[in-house]
């Protein structure tokens, strides 16, 4: 017996009526069969939803189109012309890849992805995607990375690119960025704004990132709108996604947020060609059905486009429900097979077993059966789906379009498991493609005589090109198109915003994290830049002491705050509001990074520069969502990543999974990420101030650089010194030194013995100051202290110099800045960091004297700071011993100092090596 728990817990106010309904249903099943009962139930559910009865929506529907034929809107375009345009685009997309691989074997490229999705894109380009030429930002279109050839082919038809450009597909090196397109510039393999900054907008090729980024882009548009910064509601976010790609956790991981935030400005199109790279996506199941249930369960509007028009009349005659049953019960693995088999096989195996089904298609030839198209290749069906998606209010829409991978490329490609990887076509395959696309007139046999198959496009003044261009003009210009322009100017903050941090904390102990929180608050309070600051925090504001900002700035929520918070009577209560400034992401670093990316690219994607600060547990940044950061760098993001709770010894009891001693190594792998490890509040302020100026000089995005900042923040408290006078001895100003990565923080105490130099960063000053004192007191060593704010910046400059010297033999060699600076100090150099030694070791090639580093290589442990620093051998005694060891090696000190230090500080000498695990 099946019991629906909820119904049995409520009183039945009319058992007689209940019984009548149930008996009727049983009678229908008995007399008319199950399919009829299913039909009636479906109609009842539909009606009850119309009547807002409150019936829970089912998560799945039969395997047919969501939009019935009679609900399809009138198609406003020229069907024939658009089909012809598609044929040209399909041809050139394929030829581009084939030519590239003939010219240079192994260049790669993909034929089958776009072949399956050409109609999905074309209906968008001809009827929906809005461009930017009217001055508005238009739509945000995330294109499947492997479909790039088709997008280039369309740009070719639009006369944005020409043949020489297409021949530079995946040949970027000899074509510097910025060449005029007509000279044949390199076309990147996939959508890379970093490589084609006036063309691509959204990097998508690392699977799963495009989908999650698109959700947060749509959410960010609502944020801008609700905060009255930009009227973003005219822009729609479209994301094209592979059905294999949905297996990436990032793809589906944030879909419930999209529904919760009512992102009706978001449309996803999943290209369900049933295949990924190696084989079927769900051979033993049905990916469309699975996705439908997931999305409906998450509150999305789901539109399935399974069958092309040819199937409509068959379904209309399906009186017994046998066709529907066959559709429902056929597995994707079988559908993939039907895509490659002849019509006779389909007749035998799909329609054949049931005589009622077989009879249904008796009037169709085998060729007809083979050509019954899938919904994702049916322009009218797609148009209907897109139209419905754009009209849907209150929820995001996903269109699940069933296609064939490699469609129109011929039998060697369509539906084959190997299709994703095939990049070459034989002469016979090319002819077959031409015939299939009906391009005989444009491509007579004689066109194939050369070595390479030809590109072909209709003349500029042809009806076809004019139609194509006319459609784009009507939709405000071509896409993709990346444009940096100022729609809403940005103003830089007043200098006074930074004063508090530059002044230091006096005798009061403070951490760089609390200092930064004050800076963030001051920035938000600045009347000019304030509204453009986007504070983003995962569920860690209290950990970082940032909860104080909740009340003042408000937490953004599309729904406002429809409840009285539990802490309403506290001064610093949890305040959500529709115009809240803080994006509190909950426990999702990927979400926070996606937010950050939307804000950090807003200067280009919306013409509205925003300044995002994403503050997170540094351990869960690069290590966890590094690929999103890489994608943001590709997208030319500008902003600040604030690595809180940095360091391997600062988090006391947290241990192995939390103590970060390596994110600075990871961050240094991203070319445009400037990594800083400041020790003092004033350094942090300077880095933010100069960073703002570098990204937006005087507020101007066009003059700024596409870089972003990774800045560590610690939770260790010590008095924060004021910024020293900017004209420190030796000619380098403090702010210059902080930005370039190194400056002298304290001169050596007067001593009779040898000199040494100690570099510190992050929290290391606490131990180095003690070491400096001990060295002077017990060993007569006078050590200078230098703050190394960025080994990465020092290294980068030194590498440039090294390269210049190599390329300019015979000329006076240049000297790296770090070398020149350290020549102003004396004695062996010892660097101390709370990160692993690889961080300071970045400059070891260029230090003018003996160089040793101390760091926290190895897994973290839980204990006190003191115990941890002793364990990692970064405490003051170990610094002293290291300095003495260097001096002895240099012959500047008697070796007896070493045994003295070991016994003075009780340094254990037979302990396990920390980095062995």
Ligand X SMILES: Cc1ncc(C[n+]2csc(CCOP(=O)(O)OP(=O)(O)O)c2C)c(N)n1
Q: Which residues bind ligand X (CB under 6 A)?
A: 113, 116, 144, 146, 205-207, 242-245, 271, 273, 275-277, 281, 405, 420
CB of 283 to Mg ion, least distance (A): 12
CB of 669 to ligand X, least distance (A): 17
Question: Which span sits near Mg ion by CB under 5 A: 240-248, 696-704, 785-793, 868-876?
Answer: 240-248
Tokens for 2?
A: 């099946």
Examine residue 201 and tell whether it contacts Mg ion (CB under 5 A).
Answer: no
Residue number, 19 or 278, with CB nearest to ligand X? 278
825 binds, among Mg ion, ligand X, none (CB under 5 to 8 A by kind): none
CB of 145 to Mg ion, least distance (A): 12
245 binds, among ligand X, Mg ion, none (CB under 5 to 8 A by kind): ligand X
Tokens for 738?
A: 């902080």
Residue number, 66 or 336, with CB nearest to ligand X? 336
Residue number, 122 or 332, with CB nearest to Mg ion? 332
Site for Mg ion in 814-853 (CB under 5 A): none
Question: Which span sits near Mg ion by CB under 5 A: 234-242, 475-483, 792-800, 894-902?
Answer: 234-242
Q: What is the CA radius of gyration of the chain?
A: 33
Residue number, 275 or 522, with CB nearest to Mg ion? 275
* DSSP bridge partners of 853: 831
Q: Binding-site residue total for Mg ion (CB under 5 A)? A: 5
CB of 82 to ligand X, least distance (A): 22
Percentages of the chain per state (helix, strand, coil), in multiples of 5: 45, 10, 45
d(CA 9, CA 559): 33
d(CA 587, CA 123): 38
Helix (H) or strand (E) holding 199: none
Examine residue 419 and tell whether it contacts Mg ion (CB under 5 A).
Answer: no
Examine residue 131 and tell whether it contacts Mg ion (CB under 5 A).
Answer: no
Q: Is 277 exposed, middle or buried (0-12, 13-18, 19+ CB in 10 A)?
A: middle
Examine residue 273 and tell whether it contacts Mg ion (CB under 5 A).
Answer: yes
575 binds, among ligand X, Mg ion, none (CB under 5 to 8 A by kind): none
Examine residue 101 and tell whether it contacts Mg ion (CB under 5 A).
Answer: no
Q: Please say whether the beta carbons of 396 and 263 come within 8 A.
A: yes
Residue number, 166 or 269, with CB nearest to ligand X? 269
Q: Show Cβ contacts of residue 890 under 8 Å, excluding neighbours closer than 6 positions.
A: 754, 827, 828, 849, 850
Residue number, 273 or 668, with CB nearest to Mg ion? 273
Residue number, 249 or 719, with CB nearest to ligand X? 249
Q: Please say whether the beta carbons of 858 and 916 come within 8 A.
A: yes
Three-state SS sequence of 7-44:
HHCCCCCCHHHHHHHHHHHHHHHHHHCHHHHHHHHHHH
Whole-number Cα distances in Å, 487 to 161, 531, 535, 696, 726: 27, 15, 22, 14, 37
Residue number, 400 or 720, with CB nearest to Mg ion? 400
**What backbone phi and psi angles, to 5 degrees, belong to 385?**
-65, -45
Residue number, 277 or 447, with CB nearest to ligand X? 277
Residue number, 275 or 522, with CB nearest to ligand X? 275
Tokens for 819?
A: 């070398």
d(CA 543, CA 565): 20
CB of 420 to ligand X, least distance (A): 6
Examine residue 244 and tell whether it contacts Mg ion (CB under 5 A).
Answer: yes
Three-state SS sequence of 644-688:
ECCECCCCHHHCCCCCECCHHHHHCCCCCEEEECCCCHHHHHHHH
CB of 753 to ligand X, least distance (A): 57
CB of 269 to ligand X, least distance (A): 11
* DSSP bridge partners of 831: 759, 853
CB of 130 to ligand X, least distance (A): 24
d(CA 677, CA 762): 5
CB of 379 to ligand X, least distance (A): 19
Examine residue 332 and tell whether it contacts Mg ion (CB under 5 A).
Answer: no
Residue number, 275 or 715, with CB nearest to Mg ion? 275
CB of 606 to ligand X, least distance (A): 27
Q: How would you label 568-593 residue by residue, b for 16+ Cβ within 10 Å and e otherwise?
A: eeeeeebbbbbebbbbbbeebbbbbb
Residue number, 142 or 556, with CB nearest to Mg ion? 142
- A 10 A CB-CB count for 253 gives 16
CB of 332 to ligand X, least distance (A): 12
Question: Which span sits near Mg ion by CB under 5 A: 173-181, 186-194, 238-246, 535-543?
Answer: 238-246
902 binds, among Mg ion, ligand X, none (CB under 5 to 8 A by kind): none
146 binds, among ligand X, Mg ion, none (CB under 5 to 8 A by kind): ligand X
d(CA 183, CA 372): 44
CB of 269 to Mg ion, least distance (A): 12
Three-state SS sequence of 807-857:
HCCCCCCCCCHHHHHHCCCCCCEEEECCCCCCCHHHHHHHCCCCEEEECCC
DSSP 741-786: T-EEEEPPPP-SS-EEEEEE-TTTHHHHHHHHHHHHHHH--EEEEE
512 binds, among Mg ion, ligand X, none (CB under 5 to 8 A by kind): none
Examine residue 376 and tell whether it contacts Mg ion (CB under 5 A).
Answer: no
According to DSSP, residue 348 is labeled I
225 binds, among Mg ion, ligand X, none (CB under 5 to 8 A by kind): none
Residue number, 306 or 897, with CB nearest to ligand X? 306
Q: Show Cβ contacts of residue 451 under 8 Å, excluding neighbours closer than 6 positions.
A: 102
Residue number, 210 or 914, with CB nearest to Mg ion? 210
277 binds, among ligand X, Mg ion, none (CB under 5 to 8 A by kind): ligand X
132 binds, among ligand X, Mg ion, none (CB under 5 to 8 A by kind): none
Residue whose CB is nearest to ligand X in the complex, by number = 242
CB of 271 to ligand X, least distance (A): 5
CB of 617 to ligand X, least distance (A): 24
According to DSSP, residue 56 is labeled P
Question: Which span sits near Mg ion by CB under 5 A: 127-135, 270-278, 522-530, 907-915?
Answer: 270-278
Examine residue 243 and tell whether it contacts Mg ion (CB under 5 A).
Answer: yes
Examine residue 406 and tell whether it contacts Mg ion (CB under 5 A).
Answer: no
Residue number, 243 or 264, with CB nearest to ligand X? 243
- A 10 A CB-CB count for 180 gives 7
Residue number, 206 or 392, with CB nearest to ligand X? 206
Q: Please say whether the beta carbons of 596 and 639 come within 8 A.
A: yes
CB of 206 to ligand X, least distance (A): 5
Q: What's the angle, vertex CA 898, arms to CA 896 and CA 904, rounded to 5? A: 105
Question: Which span sits near Mg ion by CB under 5 A: 275-283, 511-519, 540-548, 859-867?
Answer: 275-283
Residue number, 108 or 477, with CB nearest to ligand X? 108
d(CA 790, CA 382): 53
206 binds, among ligand X, Mg ion, none (CB under 5 to 8 A by kind): ligand X
205 binds, among ligand X, Mg ion, none (CB under 5 to 8 A by kind): ligand X
Examine residue 732 and tell whether it contacts Mg ion (CB under 5 A).
Answer: no
d(CA 344, CA 400): 28
d(CA 333, CA 356): 24
Identify the residue among 109, 131, 208, 242 touching Mg ion (CB under 5 A). Answer: 242
Positions touching Mg ion (CB under 5 A) are 242-244, 273, 275
């Amino acid at each position: 017996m099946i019991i629906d728990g909820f119904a049995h817990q409520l009183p039945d106010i009319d058992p007689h009526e209940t019984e009548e309904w149930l008996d009727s249903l049983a009678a229908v099943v008995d007399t008319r069969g199950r399919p009829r009962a299913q039909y009636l139930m479906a109609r009842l559910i539909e009606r009850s939803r119309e009547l807002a009865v409150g019936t829970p929506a089912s998560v799945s529907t039969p395997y047919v189109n969501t939009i019935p034929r009679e609900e399809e809107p009138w198609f406003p375009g020229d069907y024939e012309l658009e089909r012809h345009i598609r044929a040209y685009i399909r041809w050139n997309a394929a030829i581009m890849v084939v030519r590239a691989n003939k010219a240079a074997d192994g260049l790669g490229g993909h034929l089958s992805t776009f072949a399956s999705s050409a109609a999905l894109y074309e209906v968008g380009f001809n009827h929906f995607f809005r461009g930017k030429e009217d001055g508005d930002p238009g739509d945000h279109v995330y294109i499947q990375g492997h479909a790039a050839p088709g997008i280039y082919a369309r740009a070719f038809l639009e006369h944005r690119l020409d043949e020489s450009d297409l021949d530079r597909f995946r040949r970027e090196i000899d074509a510097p960025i910025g060449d005029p397109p007509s000279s044949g510039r390199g076309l990147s393999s996939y959508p890379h704004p970093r490589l084609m900054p006036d063309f691509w907008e959204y990097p998508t090729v690392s699977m799963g990132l495009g989908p999650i980024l698109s959700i947060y882009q749509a959410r960010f548009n609502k944020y801008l709108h609700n905060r009255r910064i930009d009227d973003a509601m005219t822009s729609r976010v479209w994301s094209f996604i592979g059905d294999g790609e949905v297996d990436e956790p990032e793809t589906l991981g944030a879909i419930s947020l999209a529904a919760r935030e009512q992102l009706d400005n978001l449309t996803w199109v999943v290209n369900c060609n049933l295949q990924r790279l190696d084989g079927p996506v769900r051979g033993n199941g049905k990916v469309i059905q699975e996705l439908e249930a997931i999305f409906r369960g998450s509150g999305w509007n789901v539109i399935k486009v399974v069958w092309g028009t040819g199937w409509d009349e068959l379904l209309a005659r399906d009186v017994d429900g046998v066709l529907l049953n066959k559709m429902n019960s056929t597995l994707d693995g079988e559908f993939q097979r039907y895509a490659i088999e002849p019509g006779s096989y389909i007749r035998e195996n799909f329609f054949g077993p049931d005589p009622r089904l077989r009879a249904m298609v008796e009037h169709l030839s085998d060729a007809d059966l083979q050509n019954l198209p899938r919904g994702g290749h049916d322009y009218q069906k797609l148009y209907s789906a897109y139209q419905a998606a754009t009209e849907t209010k209150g929820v995001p829409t996903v269109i699940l379009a069933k296609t064939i991978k490699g469609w129109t490329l011929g039998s060697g490609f369509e539906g084959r498991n190997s299709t994703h990887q095939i990049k070459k076509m034989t002469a016979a395959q090319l002819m077959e493609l031409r015939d299939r696309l009906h391009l005989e007139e444009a491509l007579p046999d004689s066109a194939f005589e050369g070595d390479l198959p030809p590109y072909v496009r209709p003349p500029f003044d042809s009806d076809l090109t004019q139609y194509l261009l006319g459609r784009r003009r009507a939709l405000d210009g071509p896409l993709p198109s990346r444009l940096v322009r100022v729609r809403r100017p940005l103003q830089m903050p007043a200098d006074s915003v930074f004063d508090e941090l530059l002044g230091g904390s006096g005798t009061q102990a403070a951490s760089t994290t609390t200092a930064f929180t004050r800076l963030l608050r001051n920035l938000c309070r600045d009347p000019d830049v304030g509204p453009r600051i986007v504070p983003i925090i995962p569920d860690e504001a209290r950990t970082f002491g940032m909860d104080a900002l909740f009340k003042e700035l408000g937490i953004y929520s599309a729904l406002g705050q429809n409840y009285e918070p539990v802490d309403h009577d506290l001064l610093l209560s949890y305040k959500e509001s529709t115009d809240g400034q803080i994006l509190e992401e909950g426990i999702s670093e990927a979400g926070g990074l996606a937010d950050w990316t939307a804000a950090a690219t807003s200067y280009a994607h919306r013409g509205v520069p925003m300044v995002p600060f994403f503050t997170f547990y540094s351990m869960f940044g690069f290590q966890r969502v590094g690929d999103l950061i890489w994608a943001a760098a590709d997208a030319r993001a500008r902003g600040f990543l604030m690595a809180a709770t940095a360091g391997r010894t600062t988090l006391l009891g947290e241990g192995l999974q939390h103590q970060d001693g390596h994110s600075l190594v990871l961050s240094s792998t991203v070319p445009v990420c400037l990594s800083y490890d400041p020790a003092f509040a004033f350094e942090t302020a300077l880095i933010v101030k100069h960073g703002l100026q570098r990204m937006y000089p005087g507020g101007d995005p066009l003059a700024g650089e596409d870089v972003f900042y990774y800045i560590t923040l610690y939770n260790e408290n010590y008095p924060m010194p004021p910024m020293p006078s900017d004209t420190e001895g030796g000619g380098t100003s403090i702010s210059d030194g902080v930005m370039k990565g190194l400056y002298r923080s304290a001169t050596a105490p007067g001593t009779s013995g040898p000199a040494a130099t100690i570099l510190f960063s992050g929290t290391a000053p606490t131990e180095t100051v003690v070491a400096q004192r001990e060295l002077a007191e017990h060993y007569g060593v006078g050590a200078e202290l230098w703050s190394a704010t960025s080994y990465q910046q020092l290294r980068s400059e030194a590498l440039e110099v090294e390269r210049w010297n190599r390329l300019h033999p015979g000329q006076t060699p240049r000297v790296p800045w770090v070398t020149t600076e350290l020549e102003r100090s004396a004695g062996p150099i010892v660097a101390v960091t709370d990160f692993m030694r690889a961080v300071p070791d970045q400059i070891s090639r260029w230090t003018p004297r003996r160089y040793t580093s101390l760091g926290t290589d190895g897994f973290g442990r839980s204990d006190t700071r003191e115990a941890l620093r002793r364990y990692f051998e970064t405490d003051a005694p170990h610094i002293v011993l290291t300095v003495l060891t260097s001096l002895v090696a240099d012959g500047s000190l008697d070796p007896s100092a070493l045994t003295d230090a070991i016994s003075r500080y009780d340094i254990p000498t037979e302990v396990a090596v920390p980095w062995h695990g």
